[in-house]
Amino acid sequence: MNTDMETTRQGRSVELSILVPVFNEEDVLALLFGRLYPVLDALERPFEVLFVNDGSSDQSGKILAHQFEQRPDVTRVISLSSNAGQHAALIAGFQRAKGDFIVTLDADLQNPPEEIPAVVAEMDKGFDYVGSIRASRHDRAWRHIASRLMNALREKITNIRMTDQGCMLRGYSRDIALEIAASNESRTFIPALAYLYAARPTEITVAHEERAGGQSKYSLFKLVQLNFDLITSFSSVPLQLISITGIVVSILSFLFVCYLAFRRLFYGPEVEGVFTLFGITIFLMGLLLFSMGMLGEYIGRINGLVRRRKRFRVASVLEADEGVKSPVDEAGSAPGPE
């Protein structure tokens, strides 16, 4: 392994970067190290493990720094100044990964590290993007249902075709990763971008396990936000649906007014059906509010892009090359609101 260590230390010839976003994962990191490093050592090719500490407030930062001391030859730790979200953390990693292939992995061991060789084998065959499908999913039941619905919606209204959008154990060629990092979107959904950019994508089935400890870092609100990111970044169909609904409602209400005018002329003034009218009006008000919210989703993202605010700032980097650098005034190229 000595030669591998040398090449890795010099920052050259790293073939494989394993990229792990970490947000408050103190309960699982030791278990992750215990399973991840042996798998990578057994691969016998120059690798690095790049942890992106996404503004953790627990002991994760310390645990990662300790792991860096254990394996400084193959470990790098990037710390963001605050919690920017899993996908922003991945972009921070893509910008700095040195490997020809980059394999992303969740820290909570839901993606078994033992599956990494299978992803690498696909990349060796020349695929520039390796997506993944969870053989059997181990999450809460409501997450299964919600994600099945989102999968179906995404299939309908975007041109992104992927079997399983939720699994983050995926392989990216360096070119694709850099392209994604440069895409300059304020908020995005990385696997979907990869499908857009990949020339030779493929998918494999991988095992999925229960979270090894701690809690999911996605609240219901964060999940909804992420799915809005997925839809609004890749489709304008919701906006078109609003226009179509507007047209249909206008036609129907015009016909209704004609009908009422007809009755007024031939039957005189009437007051029946007031509650039906209330019902219709309130329904239309709901539709209006929903449409405004949908517009707001798009406008909010445009607003983020216009402000050109950095989405994250790299506060410190632990790597063997130049020793410990801190703080570094580097920032993500992806501006946007947080």
Among 98, 134, 217, 311, binds ligand UDP (CB under 6 A): 217
Scanning 17-25, 172-180, 186-194, 278-286 for contacts with ligand UDP by CB under 6 A, the matching segment is: 17-25
As measured in angstroms, the least distance from the Cβ of 338 to ligand UDP is: 10
Amino acid identity of residue 320, one-letter, is A
Scanning 116-124, 216-224, 285-293, 305-313 for contacts with ligand UDP by CB under 6 A, the matching segment is: 216-224
Between CA 132 and CA 125 the distance in angstroms is: 16
Q: Please list, in sequence order, all residues whose beta carbon lies within 8 angstroms of the beta carbon of residue 166, skipping any fewer than 6 positions away.
A: 134, 137, 147
CB of 102 closer than 8 Å to CB of 171: yes
Q: Hey, what are 317's tokens? A: 């980097």
Site for Mg ion in 96-115 (CB under 5 A): 106, 108, 110
Q: Compare residues 54 and 185 and give the one whose CB is closer to ligand UDP.
A: 54
Q: Compare residues 86 and 227 and give the one whose CB is closer to ligand UDP.
A: 86
Among 4, 27, 54, 203, binds ligand UDP (CB under 6 A): 54
Instruction: State the CB neighbour count (10 A cutoff) for residue 182.
Output: 13
CA 279 to chain centre: 40
As measured in angstroms, the least distance from the Cβ of 56 to ligand UDP is: 8
Q: Is there binding between residue 25 and ligand UDP (CB under 6 A)?
A: yes
- What single string gives the DSSP state of each residue in 89-126? HHHHHHHH--SSEEEE--TTSSS-GGGHHHHHHHHHTT
Residues of this chain that bind Mg ion (CB under 5 A) = 106, 108, 110
Residues of this chain that bind ligand UDP (CB under 6 A) = 21-23, 25, 54, 83, 85-86, 89, 106-108, 110, 216-218
